[in-house]
Chain A
Amino acid sequence: MSAVDTTLAPHLDNSRSARVKGMLESPVASIAIALAVVIAVGLAWLGGSYLSASNISIIGSFAAVPIIVGTCSGLALMSGVVDLSIGSMVGFSATAFAELTSDGWNAWETAAICLLLSLVCGLINALAIVTFGADPIAATLGMLTVLRGLSTVLNGNTGAIASLVSGFYDFLNQRIGPFPILFVLAMLGVLVATLVATKTRLGRHIRAAGGDERAARRAGISVTRIRYGTLMLSALGAGAGGILYIGQLGGSSNLLGTGLEFQIYAALMIGGYSILRGGVGNPAGGVMGLLVVAGVGNMLDVKSINPYYVNVIVGVLLVAAVLLDRLRGGDAYE
């Protein structure tokens, strides 16, 4: 994947210093450095227990759902549209799933209904953004609010619904080595997404649609169809994420998924995606970005530091990441 990325950066100059500079500016290098820094800080601060099997398992189960959600919405970023509604879509899908299963509905049927509802939301997003030409950030901010409101309505006065689907929790609680099974499944998803994004024609088309819309259209690629597809995939990922959270947590609440979109996009931007331009980044880089945020969150958690500090760090990282994106060749804003 690094080969694909470096061809995008215009360093024809083959001198040694230019190559080194190019490598440092390439997304893969910056994520690898960030991840290394997080692990080094973790080891220095928490000692060897930071990389112990039990802590890796904690980080893994914490990061699994964001990885699934982020990988799907990362493909939307790649095609040039950003979907801010993923966080509250996770919350909405989780709430709907908890509400119906606690009423005694069959878990499989309920899951299908929740995924279908998410797809409908994704379709509305796509309709507004692709067909009507709405600003993606503002339109999906609207969807974020709609779904947040619906979740609050569904959660009712208590603001939470308990739902224990027998077998679901036990299944998700299994481990393969130090890794939770959900984390392993999520990583398999990342592998598939990375292969699709970098090795297939579909992947090239997605990248082209995000990179230069007009050129892609002229080359005969249906940008409309691709963006409909990626926005619906992003919604599907968020819907699945919500259902999986119920399996992990055993219930929904008004707070589930709030701010998740910011954490995910900050992480994806650290990982080489850009929420302002498509055609850059790849799922493998994105997952490393997500692990950076999960690793930082875990450190503060172990030290029982107020979780709001994570948001402060994520906010700063977001701005740093967009600065890095500009240095890598993103548009300068004046």
Chain B
Amino acid sequence: MTGATLSTPHLNTEPPRSRGRRELPEGAGNAALVFGAWLLLVLATTITRPDFISHQTLLSVTFTMSVTGVLALAQALVAISGGILDLSIPTALILPSWLAVTLAALGWSSWLVVLITVTTGAAWGALNASIIVWGKLNPIIVTLGTNFAGLAVMLLVFQSAQTPLHSGLSHFGRGYFLGLPNIFWPMLLLLALVGFLMRQTRYGRRAVAVGGSPTAAKSRGISLRKTRFAIFGSAGALAGAAAVLFTGSNANFTPNDGTNYLLSVIAAVILAGISLSGGRGHLWMILPSVGFLSTVPVSLVFFGLNDNWQTVMQGAILIIAVAIDGLRQKRLAR
């Protein structure tokens, strides 16, 4: 959408018909698709199982949305600014999580734990950024490699970790506010805030410009290096924030638990209309897309299918989402 404001002068010279055609599918078509799919899923499940509509369902959907939403926001920042994908999201979640529960077990104050957790996430992002920037390497490969090594190191460090029961983390993570899980609200807040900053501040618009066309952004005097560091650092910090919600709401976890999020996070970003080729999309669209993806597992339970089918569905949704994204690219390129 920021892309649309950049190209306004060109639009005036075009015939009005093509202008309408181009603007509509960009945001509106995708939003309609996501909301439509979500509504269809809810309707289909409710018709089969009327007891689907309940507070319990709402709780489990919002619960799933929380961690996924924050991680999707991190992934979206990377995608929109031309960093393609951060495949190291699992390590970016597990490393701070492990640190958080370790420090909480030592009795550190909760605020300090949160601060350190978020900083650790940012440091992980900065590590990725430094390899990407200094080596001039593609982020997908770099994060593939760092995730592979990072998770292996985490597996060497611990097999299973527990969140201390009487820590602030776990009190917060298991609480409720306004009828919804506590952990849902920070997600909503971060999404609103980062979405706003991305559109309304110079820095946000620069990042989107870098994603749209790095060469054009560079010629306008935007530092690509600084942008990469800022984006991967913020994405890491967001993953650190997700780690706070994750450890608070999970009594125990293993290093492999982070991997389960990667797929739904990528699918959420693509479904939200944030193209992997950068420069297009609106961060707020993550909310309905994560909402839809988080409803899928709950629906599957109501249809009587177990967790493993959830994995199958997630993969299938990802394939369909990237195929739609590909078609959209082709149409734009024409």
Q: Does A262 contact B (CB under 8 A)?
A: yes
Chain A residue at minimum C-beta to C-beta distance from B319: A142
Report B-chain residues with C-beta under 8 Å of the C-beta of A332: 136
Given A141-B318, A148-B311, A326-B137, the answer on whether A318 and B145 have CB atoms closer than 8 Å is yes
**B145→A139 contact, CB < 8 A:** no
Instruction: State the CA gap A152–B329 with chains docked (Å).
Output: 34
Q: Does A119 contact B (CB under 8 A)?
A: no
Looking at A8-16, A104-112, A221-229, A306-314, the stretch in contact with chain B turns out to be A306-314
Report A-chain residues with C-beta under 8 Å of the C-beta of B318: 138-139, 141-142, 145
Smallest CB separation, A182 vs chain B (Å): 27
**B308→A149 contact, CB < 8 A:** yes
0 or 1 for each of B303-334: is its CB under 8 Å from A? (1 = yes) = 00010111111111111011111110110000
Given A306-B156, A326-B136, A333-B132, the answer on whether A138 and B327 have CB atoms closer than 8 Å is no
0 or 1 for each of A294-334: is its CB under 8 Å from B? (1 = yes) = 00000000000010111110111011001100100001111
**A146→B137 contact, CB < 8 A:** no
Looking at A68-76, A129-137, A191-199, A231-239, the stretch in contact with chain B turns out to be A129-137
Interface SS, A side = helix
Q: Does A144 contact B (CB under 8 A)?
A: yes
**A315→B149 contact, CB < 8 A:** yes
Instruction: State the CA gap A265–B231 with chains docked (Å).
Output: 27
Q: Does A124 contact B (CB under 8 A)?
A: yes
Interface size range on B against A: 35 or more
**B315→A149 contact, CB < 8 A:** yes
Chain B residue at minimum C-beta to C-beta distance from A130: B326
Smallest CB separation, B31 vs chain A (Å): 21
**A318→B329 contact, CB < 8 A:** no
Instruction: State the CA gap A9–B329 with chains docked (Å).
Output: 32
Partner of A316 from the list B145, B263, B270, B323 (CB cut-off 8 Å) is: B145
**A145→B314 contact, CB < 8 A:** yes
**A308→B136 contact, CB < 8 A:** no
Q: Does B85 contact A (CB under 8 A)?
A: yes
Smallest CB separation, B237 vs chain A (Å): 23
Instruction: State the CA gap A56–B218 with chains docked (Å).
Output: 53
Report A-chain residues with C-beta under 8 Å of the C-beta of B326: 128-129, 132-135, 139
**B148→A262 contact, CB < 8 A:** yes
Partner of B152 from the list A138, A144, A315, A331 (CB cut-off 8 Å) is: A315
Partner of B135 from the list A135, A318, A326 (CB cut-off 8 Å) is: A326
A residues 127-179 touching B (CB-CB < 8 Å): 127-129, 132-135, 137-139, 141-150, 152-153
Given A133-B327, A308-B156, A319-B145, the answer on whether A139 and B137 have CB atoms closer than 8 Å is no
Q: Does B146 contact A (CB under 8 A)?
A: yes
**A316→B319 contact, CB < 8 A:** no
Q: Does B183 contact A (CB under 8 A)?
A: no
**B263→A142 contact, CB < 8 A:** yes
Instruction: State the CA gap A124–B316 with chains docked (Å).
Output: 11
**A132→B151 contact, CB < 8 A:** no
Instruction: State the CA gap A216–B235 with chains docked (Å).
Output: 39
Smallest CB separation, B140 vs chain A (Å): 6
Instruction: State the CA gap A311–B156 with chains docked (Å).
Output: 11
0 or 1 for each of B112-134: is its CB under 8 Å from A? (1 = yes) = 00000000000000000001100
Interface size range on A against B: 35 or more
Q: Does B181 contact A (CB under 8 A)?
A: no
Instruction: State the CA gap A181–B270 with chains docked (Å).
Output: 46
Best-buried of B141, B153, B312 by chain A (most CB within 10 Å): B141
0 or 1 for each of B82-114: is its CB under 8 Å from A? (1 = yes) = 000100000000000000000000000000000
**A146→B142 contact, CB < 8 A:** no
Report A-chain residues with C-beta under 8 Å of the C-beta of B270: 138
Instruction: State the CA gap A137–B84 with chains docked (Å).
Output: 11
**B322→A135 contact, CB < 8 A:** yes
Given A149-B312, A153-B308, A315-B148, the answer on whether A275 and B263 have CB atoms closer than 8 Å is no
Partner of A333 from the list B139, B146, B150, B306 (CB cut-off 8 Å) is: B139
Partner of B311 from the list A145, A266, A316, A319 (CB cut-off 8 Å) is: A145
Can you name 14 A-B residue pairings with CB atoms under 8 Å? Answer: A124-B319, A128-B319, A132-B330, A134-B326, A135-B326, A138-B266, A149-B309, A152-B311, A276-B140, A311-B151, A312-B156, A316-B149, A319-B141, A322-B141
Sample of 20 further A-B pairs with CB below 8 A, known A138-B318, A142-B321, A322-B137: A127-B323, A132-B323, A132-B326, A133-B329, A138-B85, A139-B326, A141-B318, A142-B263, A142-B317, A142-B319, A145-B318, A146-B316, A150-B312, A153-B308, A266-B145, A275-B141, A306-B156, A316-B149, A318-B144, A334-B136
Residues of B with Cβ closer than 8 Å to A?
A: 85, 131-132, 135-142, 144-153, 155-156, 214, 218, 224, 263, 266-267, 270, 276, 306, 308-319, 321-327, 329-330
Residues of A with Cβ closer than 8 Å to B?
A: 124, 127-129, 132-135, 137-139, 141-150, 152-153, 259, 262, 266, 275-276, 306, 308-312, 314-316, 318-319, 322-323, 326, 331-334
